[in-house]
Amino acid sequence: MQYIPLIHLSDLPENTHKSVKNGSKTIALFHYGGIISALDHACIHKGGDLGEGFIQMLDDQERYVVCPWHGWQYNLKTGKAPYGYLDRQALYDVIVENGMICVSEKPVADAFRAEHESDPLADLRSLSYQTTASSLNILGISATNMNRDLPRPSTSETALQHALDIAVSKFGAQTKMIKLRELNFRHCEGYYSRHEEACTWPCSISEMDADDGMNEIYRSMVLWADAVILATPIRWGNASSLYYKMAERLNTVQNQITTHDKVLIKNKVVSFIITGGQDNVQGVAGQLNSFFTDLGFTFPPFNFLGWSRGWIAEDMENNYTRFFKNRYVRRSVIDLVTNTVKLVQQIKHMDASQLQAPKPKISEAGSLSE
């Protein structure tokens, strides 16, 4: 068996680990319990560097390295995943010769990525779009939060339901309403901050938890919808916190552009309903437009309905009634839906493959020395 010298033994003290590169090969070395072991450094899941992971003792009293990107675990001695999983990281033999840590030229146990009979994210992974040349699927998303046991009127959500009803009655659309407060989904956990490739499609959290509520958003927004109407209240001059929680998780969509030059949102339209007791409708609309254009959405003219009674209008018990008695609101809901549908019908015939995303690419960033 041929061995490759990597580093001096003194460079890997007890209870330490690191990744070491020799030519085209990078190996993660571990020195724990008096044993030096070596695994391929790139996690078989998404390529996270195991040399930057942390060590964990599991119930079997064996040490495992935990991938810093998404938490996959591998036994330091065998490269195997914990009990119940069949995955294995490539394992190399290790010898110490003349004070140098040397690893076998080839693995003594090859990497193995277990195949699962059913993939709950197969439709997201393969981008199984449900839109057609003639479809008119309109997704309503309500970012209003409230106590489920103490429901209350919501101007933005009621206007959204009215908009969806108009889309059905006037244009024959298929509609769907998602209330973010009814979805059980995790906050973005910032894997992108570790490495740009750690923010994946499908979302890293979806990979860990196929029942995460954001998967309904991903399927409905990316695969099913021709148009999205997002309704949010104004909270201290901003969109609701539920909107921002969703938006952070949608970074998985935008990140595909910057890391893979892959646009997931094509020929889709978005409009907004923004209501609240405080002003700053235009500021909220500006943020929403800025974010959704980065996802790939197109906007119709006059793509938001705004309602605010101003800073001193504290009689919120009257807000709901005044909102729906207002002729501007009733007319604007119809106009918003009409503008949205008309643009959907127009861009259906546009060749989205010719569109370029003027987003920064990782390959354009240059090196730190430039």
Residue 205 neighbours by CB under 8 Å, 6+ apart: 186, 188, 189, 212, 214, 249
CA angle 50, 77, 20 (to 5 degrees): 40
Gap between the Cα atoms of 155 and 329, Å rounded: 10
3-state secondary structure of 233: strand
Q: How far is the first Cα of the chain from the last one, in angstroms, to the nearest whole number?
A: 42
If we measure between CA atoms, which residue out of 350, 351, 307 comes closest to residue 331? 307
Gap between the Cα atoms of 227 and 239, Å rounded: 20
Provide CATH code, domain 3-104: 2.102.10.10
Gap between the Cα atoms of 320 and 155, Å rounded: 6
Residue 129 buriedness (CB in 10 A; 0-12 / 13-18 / 19+): middle
Spell out a b/e string for 39-76, using b for 16 or more CB atoms within 10 Å of the CB, else e: bbbbbbbbebbbbbbeeeeeeeebbbbbbbbbbbbbbb
Gap between the Cα atoms of 370 and 349, Å rounded: 43
Which stretch of DSSP H or E encloses residue 319?
A: helix 319-325
Beta strands in the chain (DSSP E): 3-8, 16-22, 25-32, 35-40, 54-57, 63-66, 73-75, 91-92, 94-97, 100-104, 137-142, 174-179, 227-233, 269-276, 304-308
Phi, psi (degrees; rounded to nearest 5) at 51: -65, -15
Q: Which residues pair with 91 in a beta bridge?
A: 39, 109
Tell me which CATH homologous superfamily contains domain 122-357: Flavodoxin domain (3.40.50.360)
Any idea which residue has 């929403």 for tokens? 288
For the chain, 370 residues long, give each residue's pLDDT as a single digit of tens: 899 999 999 999 999 999 999 888 899 999 999 999 999 999 999 899 999 999 999 999 999 999 999 889 999 999 999 998 899 999 999 999 999 999 999 999 999 998 866 789 999 999 999 999 999 999 999 999 999 999 888 999 999 999 999 999 999 999 999 999 999 999 999 988 888 888 899 998 998 888 999 999 999 999 999 999 999 999 888 999 999 999 999 999 999 988 888 899 999 999 999 998 667 899 999 999 999 999 999 999 999 999 887 766 777 777 778 887 888 888 999 999 999 999 999 998 888 777 777 666 656 665 555 5
Per-residue pLDDT, 208: 84
Instruction: Tell me where in the chain the CATH 2.102.10.10 domain(s) lie.
Output: 3-104
Are residues 103 and 36 in contact, defined by beta-carbon separation less than 8 angstroms?
no
Per-residue pLDDT, 156: 94
Instruction: Tell me where in the chain the CATH 3.40.50.360 domain(s) lie.
Output: 122-357
* Dihedral angle over CA of 178, 180, 186, 190, nearest 10: 100
Listed in sequence order, the DSSP H helices in 204-278 are: 204-208, 214-218, 241-249, 251-260
How far lies 33's CA from each of 15, 58, 61, 77, 164, in Å? 8, 15, 12, 11, 63
